[in-house]
Amino acid sequence: MSARAAARLAWGIGLFCAACVVASLVLLAIDWKAIDSPGTALLPYFLAAPVSGILGVLIATRRPSQPIGWFLLAIAAFNVVSLTADFAAVCIAVQLLVDPHADTSSAPASAAASATVCNCCC
């Protein structure tokens, strides 16, 4: 893989991580009433994902042959996917608690689309 292709891949993963953090923040804001502590809000993941993502992008774009940048990007990607999935699950669970007879068969599968299902806390 060329250095230019590696840099594009690193930036793509970094932008994906940033988008997932923003989506998680939106889901957190929607279900703020369900969060009772910083531990429940997964604050360490909100701090670790952007830091490891930024460092991973910087290292992987400047030194694509060094594996530490790619490891940091992988850690950031797994953190943000887990973070977004957790908040999407909380959002859907709160929706079911508010209206247990709600039809969830048409619930969207993606975390970003799950924000439309989470109108219960507003």
pLDDT tens sequence for the chain (122 residues): 788 898 999 999 999 999 998 988 888 887 777 666 666 667 788 888 889 999 999 999 999 888 999 999 999 999 999 888 888 887 777 777 766 665 555 555 444 444 444 444 43
| Distance from C-alpha of 80 to C-alpha of 100, rounded to nearest angstrom | 29
| Distance from C-alpha of 17 to C-alpha of 94, rounded to nearest angstrom | 25
Q: Assess if residue 13 is contained within a domain.
A: yes
pTM above 0.75? no
Residue 105: the pLDDT is 58
DSSP 8-state secondary structure symbol assigned to residue 119: -
Q: Assess if residue 15 is contained within a domain.
A: yes
CA proximity to 116, closest of 25, 30, 19? 30
Q: Assess if residue 122 is contained within a domain.
A: no
Structural contact between residues 120 and 28, judged by C-beta atoms closer than 8 angstroms? no
Burial class of 69 by CB neighbour count within 10 A (0 to 12, 13 to 18, 19+): buried
Residue 68 sits in which domain range?
A: 3-116
Residue 107: the pLDDT is 52
Paired tokens of 44 = 């360490």
Q: Assess if residue 121 is contained within a domain.
A: no
Q: Assess if residue 84 is contained within a domain.
A: yes
Q: Assess if residue 97 is contained within a domain.
A: yes
Q: Assess if residue 95 is contained within a domain.
A: yes
Q: Assess if residue 87 is contained within a domain.
A: yes
Number of domains in the chain: 1
Residue 113: the pLDDT is 43
Structural contact between residues 36 and 95, judged by C-beta atoms closer than 8 angstroms? no
| Distance from C-alpha of 89 to C-alpha of 48, rounded to nearest angstrom | 21
Torsion of CA 64, 70, 76, 81, to 10 degrees: 110
Structural contact between residues 28 and 84, judged by C-beta atoms closer than 8 angstroms? no
